[in-house]
Structure 1
């Protein structure tokens, strides 16, 4: 059989081939068939190179298990409708939100590269610049360069900043090193970081049906320390983690380490500091874990709350006139002692009344009309820190019960504002 033609490969296939060769040091002619059997997935090909190929090809078995065209055509309409419904459900959430295990074995292998000394790197700088210029111009003819020469130049001249530079440790040791360094940098804290690797933590959250909070830090980032002190070490977050310790697992990592570096790529992290909330969802399958929230970059909790209040104050519906039909009159005793009367339509959702109380300070000063329109903050779920209560007889109107103002309160009511967390409402 004729050897594979490297020039016939697409740009993505040539890139995959170069990445694979840089890791395995295998001859390109022998590497192409393995990459082809691995559907040009570099991680799968690297794992097969070091661990050996399976006795049977799972991809071929999966194709063989598909029903034939005739059997698909004779499927009844009820089954097709169920399949369509399932397909629509699974497509609601983007595929990049689904969380899978990372290949720690491949990451350990990938980072065992020889790095030249500092002096040697300085001597090679002119050659590196010339190499990059020529490689950009003559990359279509790269297959003519001898394989050993291209691999040697790639190893010596490739920048090391694209890979983690710290010594690779097993996942559990990585987690313990992160916790130890976090304590040394920010002092004593009560954050319940787990000491297990990411894969084991993901399995635990999946098995025990818990939420998984992933925190990825980059010490070289300018906003890293500020974000940790103002957000991660805030009293609100620590109290929330403590009160939900049986429902939430907290995992953290330094992206200078190999495993957190892989996790950042898996979770589509594009900016640091980074946090993600992962949980089990039916959209990702019976055993799937999905990212339901991402927090990218540094923005303080007070800033988010202030932005939300400004946006919510501007979006509140206008108060109906006194003679409008189906109008409800509500008298509210504010925490400051002020008594405010608010008219609402009977079909107005109870959350509108909560939002009015939350934004009353802005409405009282008229700031929501003086400022330019504000957009709703992304990835922010507001938590009301109070309840609306009828004192006589005592009735707590919880947001979690839903409903309109007319259904819950009636035509008229006297309410007071009592402090208390309204989580998820």
Structure 2
């Protein structure tokens, strides 16, 4: 019944009892008839048969109110009148009892097919229409979901791009602030360091080193240092040379906090080449190549300029 309802097919239910005299003849002459079997197959009719001594067949006989055997019922899906749009129900549209010939069964089946076949076709058409509409809605839903997903993906990418741009701008801003702060701290350190630079020795002093510096801009500067001045003192002199003509009001009384100064150049004796590294403890008189005099080149510091002599 479920198969017939879902497939909108006719069902022929055959109930019989061994106690009836027509049973053997019906089985031998009618049910095995090639003519009937061919008709059933051509019209795609589902056939179900059973002996009423079996519980399932007995229950079917009660439901169908069978009294004489063989009993035949033709059942088909129908939509009750006034129930448009509801689900079809399986209804017995014909029933005949007692012995029937193949020709008689075919004739009765033909009448039922002609009478109710159009209704089945109508239901099929409605189902097809509903299925087509369902598929269209499903396709529309799929298209909508795909469009929504594409929009969401587009929005996500736009958000990611905007966020990446914001982060890049924030990173660039912080890097620029750090660069500006570093430049400010470097300059303030120099303005403080120039106040720590010892005065040039008096002409009458002894143990004095005379150092000549060739600056990065090509200018040649000569400056005297005490023998006890450190190598770092020479570095500070070069690093603060551009401040020598500024007013004392531009100096800073304390070095900037949380800042460690590094010199961006090296002092180098050219012949033989000796790199004089910064040393805040080593005295000039103890540095080979500086005492008692030296011609020095100020070289900008690169990644390769950290070699020893």
TM-score (norm 2): 0.41
Give the structure-1-normalised TM-score: 0.31
